[in-house]
Amino acid sequence: MINHSNTISTSERSNNERQYAAIYASRRRHMVITFSLGLIILFYYIFFFYFNGLTPEQMFQGLDKLGQYFARMFIWRNVSQWPFGYYFTQIAVTLGIVFAGTFTATLLALPLSFLASRRVMNTFVLASISVVIRRLFDIMRGIDMAIWGMIFIRAVGMGPLAGVMAIFIQDTGLLGKLYAESHDAVDKRPSRGLSALGANHLQKHRFGIFTQSFPQFLALTLYQIESNTRSAAVLGFVGAGGIGLVYAENMRLWNWDVVMFITLVLVLLVMLMDKASELLRKKYIIGEDIPLFNQPTQHTEK
Amino acid sequence: MPSQTFESYYQSIRQRQKRESLLWSIGILIVYFYSGYLSEFSLSVVWQGIPHFFDYLSDILPTLHLPVLFADGHTKGSFAYWGYRLNIQIPLLGQTIAIAIAATLFSSLMATFASFPASNNTQIHWSLRYSLRSIAAFCRTMPELAWAVMFVMAFGVGPIPGFFALFLHSFGCQTKLFYETVEVASDKPVRGLRALGASRLMRMRYGLWPQVAPTFMSYTFMRLETNFRQSTILGLVGGGGIGQELMTSIKLDHYDQVSIVLIQIILVVSLLDFISGKLRHRLLKEMSV
């Protein structure tokens, strides 16, 4: 494959083709599939732009405006007069919404995930309960956070509380489903051993399943906190509190420099959270070896 | 080491674990309560709000009367009356799906090209690597609605601004996932190719690409689901698709239309979820063979 084609003579090549017919055939098939997929995708885009397209005039005007927006992003004016206190309070409120929503969702999703797990709910009646709960998760998760935000604004009024409820509902659906999948993926043998020792069902689930799915549980929760920090900004656009409001205000006022500043602060914040979750991951998800009784030296050497 | 009995050893380990879990619980509780305070969480408001929430849920349920269930669109209480705007909503839903697919494919393609220079094991100059990474971080941290507002201001209302907004946001997310995948790929094939005198591009194409391609595909399918969910809200700011319809229905209190749009969204999300789950499963199977 690496040889340039000119280093193989034609006769050699045809010889190769005869000898490794299967390889060449599979390569040809692969090429045909790739090529036709590429064509389909190309046609899809042509149709997409044809039906929804912009006139060239609109396109150029738009690009011109975009250029202005980006230029304004990099020229910061009147920085000393910016209400930094307000910006940082709103960022703190966003973080508050994320933590409150995700933790509450974790608290509810963990018990529900056992009820949704195929492994735990293994008789006919229980299995039908688990199907109902899984459908419920689908509904909670299928509707975007911003839409839940709009619905909760009707219930609890504008403000961060609606955002907390929106994250809570969406994450209960998402985390519940993912936790249930991680409960289903565990090794069966510890549970069998526990039942041989006469453990009851609750003990089997706690020690036989949850011990194994705990790292997965922690990883998913950490990831979700991080990803919510990024997506919670949309909540402010619909009036559910947080930094999105600052975005919306400043975009309408053409303060693109503020938009840039806030995005950079959020980038830094997410990076810090990434580092923190990496530390936690090292300590609890990969885990430390606990030396076995009376053989501490053997283990540490290994 | 007979100086220590098993019991005392067990107790010492257990003590340490208990101490750690106590510390963590206290820490998490403090963060939890403080964030509750920041986000103005109050149980009394939630308690008062829950009935409103369920009221709203019962409000959006359509009024269906059994005897006239299959009557025409002018009879109150029939399916046709409930779905009288379906001829407008279904094309909008199709538009949403089209935006999601277009944004996903294009962002995955771009992220594939961006991820190789952005990962630290392809011997690319560090300045390119860090600039690509920071562009990706910027793209994914700027919320997709902010991108959408920006493009709507530039190009006017329609699905194309929605497409660009979704594309930029998911390009940022995909690039990160992709370069992390490239970084954990084995470098043995790369070293082998290097020994044979392969160029840098060939090392990426024949050494790394075959290892990461299935994972890239699987991330693309996952992204499709996420993008569909996110494209439903692009309409809130004029980015096209079903979001516009949903927002007008919620704001103007067309209760029965809210429920029918939500049902359509949930159905499509479940369907996409099912299809992409099946495809990813097949992919993983092929990978293990």
What digits encode the pLDDT tens for the residues A52-98? 777 788 888 888 888 888 888 888 888 888 889 999 999 999 999 99
Shared domain check, A172 and A95: yes
pLDDT band at A170 (very low <50, low <70, confident <90, very high): very high
Whether pLDDT at B195 is above 80: yes
Query: Residue A228 belongs to a domain with what CATH number?
Result: 1.10.3720.10
Domain B85-288 listed as CATH 1.10.3720.10: yes
User: Using CB atoms, which residue from A2, A61, A92 is nearest to B196?
Assistant: A2
**pLDDT of B105:** 93
**pLDDT of A187:** 84
User: Using CB atoms, which residue from B4, B9, B102 is nearest to A45?
Assistant: B102
Query: Span B198-206, mean pLDDT?
Result: 87
Whether pLDDT at A215 is above 80: yes
Is residue A65 in a domain? no
Regarding pTM above 0.90, the answer is no
**pLDDT of A294:** 66
Shared domain check, A116 and A13: no
Min mean pLDDT across A180-189, A200-209, B74-83 is at B74-83
Is residue A73 in a domain? no
> Which chain B residues are Cβ-neighbours of A159 within 8 angstroms?
40
Disruptive mutation site among A51, A70, A102, A147 for chain B (greatest number of B CBs within 10 Å): A147
What distance in Å separates residue B204's CA from the closest CA in chain A?
Answer: 12
**Nearest residue in chain B measured CA to CA from A147:** B233
Domain that holds residue A109: 79-287
Inspect the interface and report whether the beta carbons of B143 and A161 lie closer than 8 Å.
Answer: no
Report the C-alpha gap between B211 and A84 in whole angstroms: 47
Query: Span A192-214, mean pLDDT?
Result: 86
Inspect the interface and report whether the beta carbons of B9 and A293 lie closer than 8 Å.
Answer: yes
Inspect the interface and report whether the beta carbons of A155 and B53 lie closer than 8 Å.
Answer: yes
Shared domain check, A202 and A97: yes
CA A277, chain centre distance (Å) = 14
**pLDDT of A7:** 59
C-alpha distances in angstroms, B282 versus A181, B210, B244, B271, B289?
A: 17, 17, 36, 17, 11
Inspect the interface and report whether the beta carbons of B45 and A49 lie closer than 8 Å.
Answer: no
Inspect the interface and report whether the beta carbons of A138 and B273 lie closer than 8 Å.
Answer: yes
**Nearest residue in chain B measured CA to CA from A1:** B206
Shared domain check, A23 and A123: no
- Other C-beta atoms within 10 Å of B106: how many? 19
> Which chain B residues are Cβ-neighbours of A144 within 8 angstroms?
229-230, 232-233
Query: Span A185-206, mean pLDDT?
Result: 86
Angle of the B209-234 helix axis to the A145-156 helix axis, nearest 10 = 30
Ordered DSSP codes for A46-89? HHHHHHHPPPHHHHHHHHHHHHHHHHHHH----GGGS-HHHHHH
B196: amino acid identity, one letter: L
> Which chain B residues are Cβ-neighbours of A143 within 8 angstroms?
229, 232, 262, 265-266
Q: How far apart are the first and last CA of chain B?
A: 48
pLDDT digits (tens, 9 = 90+) for B256-289: 888 888 888 888 888 888 888 888 788 777 766 5
Query: Span B1-15, mean pLDDT?
Result: 78
Report the C-alpha gap between A31 and B108 in whole angstroms: 20
> Which chain A residues are Cβ-neighbours of B98 within 8 angstroms?
48, 52
pLDDT digits (tens, 9 = 90+) for B31-86: 998 988 888 877 788 888 788 888 888 887 777 777 767 766 666 777 777 777 88
User: Using CB atoms, which residue from A234, A237, A290 is nearest to B13?
Assistant: A290
Is residue A232 in a domain? yes
User: B120: Cβ–Cβ under 8 A, 6 or more apart, which residues?
Assistant: B129, B183
What percent of chain B is predicted at pLDDT more than 70? 95
Shared domain check, A120 and A37: no
Shared domain check, A162 and A21: no
**pLDDT of A58:** 82
Whether pLDDT at B116 is above 50: yes
Among the listed residues B44, B27, B46, the one whose alpha carbon sits nearest the alpha carbon of residue B35: B27
Is residue A222 in a domain? yes
What distance in Å separates residue A99's CA from the closest CA in chain B?
Answer: 6
**What ipTM score was computed for the predicted complex, to two decimals?**
0.82
Among the listed residues B256, B238, B237, B257, the one whose alpha carbon sits nearest the alpha carbon of residue B246: B257
Is residue A293 in a domain? no
Inspect the interface and report whether the beta carbons of B270 and A97 lie closer than 8 Å.
Answer: no
Shared domain check, A276 and A139: yes
Residue ranges per structural domain of chain B: 6-60, 85-288
> Which chain A residues are Cβ-neighbours of B31 within 8 angstroms?
99, 103
User: Using CB atoms, which residue from B141, B144, B233 is nearest to A267?
Assistant: B141
Inspect the interface and report whether the beta carbons of B49 and A156 lie closer than 8 Å.
Answer: yes
Inspect the interface and report whether the beta carbons of A151 and B53 lie closer than 8 Å.
Answer: yes
B281: amino acid identity, one letter: H
Inspect the interface and report whether the beta carbons of B39 and A96 lie closer than 8 Å.
Answer: yes
Instruction: Report whether B118 contacts B136 (CB < 8 A).
Output: yes
> Which chain A residues are Cβ-neighbours of B40 within 8 angstroms?
159-161, 241
Shared domain check, A83 and A231: yes
What distance in Å separates residue B9's CA from the closest CA in chain A?
Answer: 7
Ordered DSSP codes for A194-247? HHHTT--HHHIIIIIIIHHHHHHHHHHHHHHHHHHHHHTHHHHHTTSSSTHHHH
What distance in Å separates residue B65's CA from the closest CA in chain A?
Answer: 25
Inspect the interface and report whether the beta carbons of A1 and B206 lie closer than 8 Å.
Answer: yes
> Which chain B residues are Cβ-neighbours of A270 within 8 angstroms?
137, 141
Counting every residue written for chain A, the total comes to: 302
Inspect the interface and report whether the beta carbons of B155 and A54 lie closer than 8 Å.
Answer: yes
Disruptive mutation site among B12, B40, B135, B286 for chain A (greatest number of A CBs within 10 Å): B40
Inspect the interface and report whether the beta carbons of B240 and A58 lie closer than 8 Å.
Answer: no
Shared domain check, A155 and A250: yes
pLDDT band at B166 (very low <50, low <70, confident <90, very high): very high
> Which chain B residues are Cβ-neighbours of A164 within 8 angstroms?
39, 41
Total structural domains in chain A? 2
Shared domain check, A258 and A150: yes
Inspect the interface and report whether the beta carbons of A293 and B153 lie closer than 8 Å.
Answer: no
Shared domain check, A162 and A37: no
Shared domain check, A236 and A90: yes
| Angle, CA B203 vertex, CA B197 and CA B208 arms, to 5° | 150
**Nearest residue in chain A measured CA to CA from B240:** A52
Inspect the interface and report whether the beta carbons of B237 and A146 lie closer than 8 Å.
Answer: no
